[in-house]
Structure 1
Amino acid sequence: MTTQITFQGILGDRQLLNFFKGRNWNDNPSGPVEIVIEQGLHLSPWATTLIAAYGAWLHEVRDVDVHIDYDPSSPTGKFIENIGLPSALGYDCEIPIRRNYVPLTKITTSKEIKPFIDKTAELLDLDDSELADALKYSLTELLRNVVQHSKSRIGGFASAVFYPTKGIVEITIADIGCGLRHSLHEAYPEINRDEKALRFALLPHVSGTFASGNYGNMKDNAGLGLFFVKEIASRAYGGFFLASGSSLVDVWGNKDGSMGKKYVSAERGGWRGTFAVLQLRKDSIGEFDSLLQTCRDIAAEARKSDKEFLVDFLDETPVINGLHVIQVKEFDEDVEEAAKIRDDKIIPALIREDLVVLDFSGIRAATQSFVHALMYKLFKDAPTIKSCLSISCADNASIQAIKAVAAYAAAEEKNVGA
């Protein structure tokens, strides 16, 4: 009996978060699978890349026959053929060569990375050298993660599309492998949830190659790949989605130069493996060498002292099972109560390696003394702060106070060790 797996409606960039939350990928279909692309469906490159990886995994790993049903005369059907989805699913068909499109490409070895990147740069025909450099750098880092760490039996699928009228390049890379949590867990045993793995993976100097005791003392270039991609996207007013297992993080750059970030938890299983969607804006990249140097400077500062860089600031409080949310407004500027909640609730939760969010909603310009009472001891003594604690909904003045307390804790630690 054939199992039909249907995709319908609009699957554009704005639908990615809800799609991730609600999509139930059938990992164990009975009999052959027919992937149905309904007429009127709007597909973004990220959607076709996920479908390609999923279909290839069903066929190559689950040994299931996979077919695709679509209308080749429709706009969606033409896009599907231009992006190479039928070919990725094993159909013997010619992919039309289209300017601004890089069709779905399977990457399984390191030797295949550079040829794909060169092809991408050529086909996208970018006339902006800074955007081209950012694209090549980001693609290299993302694909290297697939080859070196994913343990994906199908490798990874990558695609790229340049939208000239918007000046945006969108890159999607997806694998169905072990996922970030599994990849990091051996070196970092404290990473026992997908949400922790996502947060941790975006920090500077985090790599599955090194033990957790070496955090901040690794070789200069170790564990900078995803951190650099995140910084490049956000500092150039772009976007970066990274999903693994049951969790997704959405990072974007605001016009004022600040970074926005939020986490989404899947309600129906998530993604078996890891996928990334990177959006770069041509008019916001600026001078790439300078942008890259800024990223290196941040990483260098993190090596000196990681306290400030371990603070995970979120635009909104995520909805995640088992999350401990502390509403800071309930004890606003009460330093005694702040210290009590820190000792009685926050530190025990962090010791248990639970996820904790300090929600600063309604707090305007938290004072240094209040933040010190609430957080100094956390920065100084809590070993799991880098993977378990987040700050949500803080205004800029409060953020600066938190960063100052983190820096002060780091300075005190350095003086003690001197």
Structure 2
Amino acid sequence: MKIHFSNQGMLRNFENFLESADLSKPSELHISTNSKWINVHPAILVMTAALARKAGRLNSTIDTPPKSGAYLDRMGLYSYLKTPSPFSITHKDESGRFIPISVISTPQEQSAFISDMIPLLHLPEEKSRVIKYVIGELVRNVIEHSLSSDGAIVAAQYYKKSNRISIGICDSGIGIWKSMQENWHPATDIDAIKLALTPGISGTTRQEGGTDDNAGAGLFFIKSIAKISRSYFLIYSGKGEYKLTKHDRRTKTPRLYADPTRDPHREINTAPDFQGTLVAIDISLDNNEAFDALLEMISLVYDNAIRERKRAKYREPRFI
């Protein structure tokens, strides 16, 4: 496998990262870097760590990066690579600034990650609890349903200048298409991703509205947070990639849709075949009325979507 760390490694340019990636030969991984500057989103970091774990530490190497590559050291990437870090840096307290690459395999590790994430939000408790809940559910879903023996790999970064938090969650499990296949039979990876983004659809059951434990709403919630805060959201699994793009600034109160194809987005089903799932989000933490009303809006759209799907099901003609 080969991947490249460029100087434009944010979510808005994620397709460039995919175009330069070669995920064949999973038994080895090599990372090339821009010679002058690198800029790497936490999502790219956790995906790289997942690939390195699959290839094995002794089979994973990286070129000597520029000075900005010290960020890779501080985020803990070199612990997954055979190549030793060329940097000698003092590790200052990361609280409120970032969460380095971490593996979550147990509820206790999940709780620790959520606790570490709260200071990154720089929000009052009543607002941070919404994001805390959604991220917690998302990580729990990865652990329970990916069937990955490696658990979930997570990382997060707070950017003070733009008042934004970026989060990446990755697993090397069965992927969304396989998790949806038993009950929903999607034709392609991107079809499976769009099903997973639809509230009320869960890979664990054909029941409308999911189950009491999992109503299939975790991804819908996190996508809605990104949309309301006018930020990027991305999910990548198999050959499918769905990326929520930013809505027009003139739209002060964007609508939330149960159907992910109604949102401004980019989708492909020709990405390098990734055996696992990557979820990434940027959240702008600037205060606005829409963000304050987020939880109520999500709950309303979610309940309505489940109600409409049940009505449509009962309206279907039945032949004896």
What TM-score comes out, normalization by structure 2 length?
A: 0.81
* Aligned match of 1:357: none
Matches within 5 A, 1:344-359: none
* Paired letter, 2:297: T
Q: Does 1:295 find its partner at 2:308? A: no
| Matched-pair contact (CA < 8 Å) for 1:237–1:284 | no
* Aligned match of 1:392: none
| Matched-pair contact (CA < 8 Å) for 2:74–2:100 | yes
* Aligned match of 2:264: 260
Match of 2:135 among 116, 126, 139: 139
Seen in structure 2, the aligned counterparts of structure 1 residues 216 and 174 have a Cα distance that, compared at 3 Å, is closer
* Aligned match of 2:47: 50
* Aligned match of 1:182: 178
CA–CA distance in 1 between the matches of 2:53 and 2:195? 29
% identical aligned pairs: 26
Q: Does 1:273 find its partner at 2:268? A: no
CA–CA distance in 2 between the matches of 1:201 and 1:139? 16
Following superposition, the deviation at residue 26 of structure 1 comes to 3.3
Q: Does 1:118 find its partner at 2:122? A: no
Q: Deviations over 1:30-84 (max 9, x none)?
A: xx65534343233222222221111112117xxx53344434xx44221112222
* Paired letter, 2:166: E
CA–CA distance in 1 between the matches of 2:110 and 2:265? 29
| Matched-pair contact (CA < 8 Å) for 2:2–2:23 | no
Q: Deviations over 1:348-394 (max 9, x none)?
A: xxxxxxxxxxxxxxxxxxxxxxxxxxxxxxxxxxxxxxxxxxxxxxx
SS at match of 2:140: helix
Seen in structure 2, the aligned counterparts of structure 1 residues 410 and 125 have a Cα distance that, compared at 3 Å, is closer
Q: Which has the greater radius of gyration?
A: 1
Matches within 5 A, 1:98-109: 98=94, 99-109=96-106
Q: Deviations over 1:144-198 (max 9, x none)?
A: 121011112322211111111111111111111110010111122x223101101
Seen in structure 2, the aligned counterparts of structure 1 residues 20 and 301 have a Cα distance that, compared at 3 Å, is same
* Paired letter, 2:135: L
Matches within 5 A, 1:209-358: 209-211=204-206, 214-216=207-209, 218-219=211-212, 222-254=215-247, 255=249, 256=251, 257-258=254-255, 259-267=263-271, 269-284=272-287, 286=289, 290-306=293-309
Matches within 5 A, 1:26-45: 26-29=24-27, 33-40=29-36, 41-45=38-42
* Aligned match of 2:16: 18
SS at match of 2:215: coil
Following superposition, the deviation at residue 90 of structure 1 comes to 7.5
* Paired letter, 1:172: G
* Paired letter, 1:164: K
Which runs of 5 or more structure 2 residues have no equivalent in the other structure? 256-262
| Matched-pair contact (CA < 8 Å) for 1:133–1:288 | no
| Matched-pair contact (CA < 8 Å) for 1:150–1:178 | yes
* Paired letter, 2:60: V
CA–CA distance in 2 between the matches of 1:414 and 1:36? 54
Seen in structure 2, the aligned counterparts of structure 1 residues 280 and 134 have a Cα distance that, compared at 3 Å, is farther
Seen in structure 2, the aligned counterparts of structure 1 residues 77 and 92 have a Cα distance that, compared at 3 Å, is closer
* Paired letter, 1:192: A
Q: Does 1:194 find its partner at 2:96? A: no
* Aligned match of 1:312: none
* Paired letter, 2:224: E
Seen in structure 2, the aligned counterparts of structure 1 residues 187 and 119 have a Cα distance that, compared at 3 Å, is same
Which runs of 5 or more structure 1 residues have no equivalent in the other structure? 308-408
| Matched-pair contact (CA < 8 Å) for 1:151–1:177 | yes
Greater relative contact order, per chain length (Cα 8 Å cut-off, separation 6+): 2
SS at match of 2:48: helix
Q: CA RMSD in A?
A: 3.2
Seen in structure 2, the aligned counterparts of structure 1 residues 141 and 253 have a Cα distance that, compared at 3 Å, is farther
Seen in structure 2, the aligned counterparts of structure 1 residues 279 and 34 have a Cα distance that, compared at 3 Å, is closer
